[in-house]
Structure formats: C-alpha cells, structure tokens
Amino acid sequence: MIDRYAVIGHPISHSKSPLIHGLFAQATGQTLEYTALEAPLDGFKATVESFRAQGGRGLNVTLPFKLQAFEIATDPMASARLAGAVNALKFEGDRILAQNFDGLGLVNDIQRNLGVSLAGKRVLICGAGGATRGAIVPLAEQKPAVIAIANRSADKAHGLKADFSALVALQTGGYEDLAGESFDVVLNATSTGLSQAALPLPTGVFAPGALAYELVYGKGLTPFLKQAQAAGVIRIADGVGMLVEQAAEAFEWWRGVRPDTQPVIARLTVPLV
C-alpha cells in the first residue's frame, strides 16, 4: 500500500502543499501520495481519524486547525509545546506525534536562502498571534541582540513576554512604543498582507540595510512591503521560502531524507511588484 500524506485545512483549495511535496517526492525518489483534505470547521478530529483509518501516515495542518491539532496530539514535540500549535502530524501506531516547523522554516529561509545572519541583529516581529508564537524560540536560538514584538493590542504582546520569560527576554508593546527605535530585520506576522491594510509603523523603524519580510506569500507587494520600500528598504521578501522550508522539515521528519528547496522556491516565487 502506498504511503499517504495530506494537508488539512478549511479552506484548502489554494494550498501549494500537494505541489511542493509532489516535487520533493519526485526529486528524492520517494513513492507516496499527497493530497489536500478540507475538513468541516466542526469536523477536524473526525477527518483526521478517517484519514488514519485509511492508512494515512502524516498530515500538514493549516488554518484554522493548528490549535485543534495540538489538542489531539499524544506526543507533542518541544516545537509544538512551545508554540501551543501544530503544523505537522505523524502517526505511529496509536501515537500522534506533533511538530511545529513554521518558525524553523522562517529562520532557514532568512539565513540559508536570503543570506541574512540573525546573530547580533535587532529583530522586530509585527503581530502577536500564532505565527509569532511559533517563531520566538527558533529566532532566539540564533542569538539576536533583541527580539521585539509589537501588536495593536499591547497586552497581547506583553502576554507573549510572560509566556516565554523562562526562555528568552522579549521587548514587547504597541506600535507607538517603537518610536525612536530601529531594527535590522522586520517581520510582518499579521494578517494585513491579506486584508491590504497598512501597519502603524513609526518613521525610522527600518535600520539602514534592513530586511523587510512579509510572512504572507504570493501576494506581490503587500502594504507592509510598500511601507518598507517607501522607507528606503531595498531587501524585501515574502513568505514563499518559509512555506517551502517548513514543508522540507516535515518531509524529512516523515521520510528521513532532506529535499533540495531551491528549485521549488524558484518555481513558486511570485515577483514582488
């Protein structure tokens, strides 16, 4: 029986995961089937159980089910426990192993693909949701000088500071608290890339030579990236590399072989214009 994998979400028709994992399998000589599963909003657990019963070996998990995936995991790995959310599941007998590779995918894209070392850098994350939660520890492991988190609700950002206080010192607050500060790497982990809304970033937040990174992918120049360009930022990127890198981590976890990400990133990249 062929090994079966899938991505599960709602909606899911837009997902690039079947294409990505199909290309990975072809490049590494792996024989597997990878499909997309759209679960009802109230039927995540039942859909997972049905997939397992039909011989499913693993799942990528996307919105809005990352928290529910954490709840059903019997063996959440450290990455999942720290994030409180899951983006990859592996089934071994009665066990449901869980990982969160989003933050690692982000770090790998910034350092390996974009060539920007995070060591000693001042890093700003805009937004205090699940994407930020998953990125904090992988970013901290690279020894940046500062990790700051800004959010429209400062209290939500302060909540992350409290949650991660035993692991990393975070600078948190609202966007107004960034006045007078500048950062070498500025990450947009909010949903503004989808809503076409701008962030209330103060003047000077982008340091000379900064990288502006939009976690949303395939949307061209989002308002955040336009803000960065207007501030004189030359180095900009969207999240297509993060998407492919986190997929590569899951593929290696499932199959024991690391795929080359560069050809897949090149195929999926949309010009930032």
Percent of the chain's residues with pLDDT above 70: 100
Strands 56-61 vs 3-9: parallel, antiparallel or unpaired:
parallel
For the cut 90, the answer to whether the pLDDT of residue 196 exceeds it is: no
pLDDT value of position 75:
98
For the cut 90, the answer to whether the pLDDT of residue 269 exceeds it is: yes
Domains within the chain, CATH numbers bracketed: 3-100+243-268 (3.40.50.10860), 103-238 (3.40.50.720)
pLDDT value of position 191:
87
Residue 247: strand, helix, or coil: helix
Catalytic machinery residues: 66
Cis check for the bond before 64: say yes or no (omega within 30 of 0): yes
Contact 244, 260 (CB under 8 A): no
Contact 150, 157 (CB under 8 A): yes
* Model confidence pLDDT, tens digit, residues 90-141: 999 999 999 999 999 999 999 999 999 999 999 999 999 888 999 999 999 9
Q: Please state the rounded mean pLDDT for residues 240-251.
A: 98
For the cut 90, the answer to whether the pLDDT of residue 225 exceeds it is: yes
Contact 222, 193 (CB under 8 A): yes
Q: Please state the rounded mean pLDDT for residues 181-207.
A: 93
Q: Please state the rounded mean pLDDT for residues 67-84.
A: 94
Q: Please state the rounded mean pLDDT for residues 21-39.
A: 98
Q: Please state the rounded mean pLDDT for residues 207-232.
A: 96
pLDDT value of position 192:
86
User: Which phi and psi angles does 122 have, rounded to 5°?
Assistant: -95, 115
Angle at CA of residue 153, ends 148 and 157, nearest 5°:
35
List b or e across 22-45, with b for residues whose CB sees 16 or more CB atoms inside 10 angstroms: ebbbeebebebbbbbbebeeeebe
Contacts 24+ apart (CB under 8 A), 139-142: 139/103, 139/106, 139/107, 140/167, 140/168, 141/107, 142/107, 142/111, 142/117, 142/118
Alpha-carbon distance 131 to 67, whole Å?
12
* Model confidence pLDDT, tens digit, residues 176-191: 999 999 999 999 999 8
Q: What is the DSSP string of 153-192?
A: SHHHHHHHHHHTTTT---EEE-GGGGTT--EEEEEE-SSH
Confidence of residue 193 (pLDDT cuts 50, 70, 90): confident
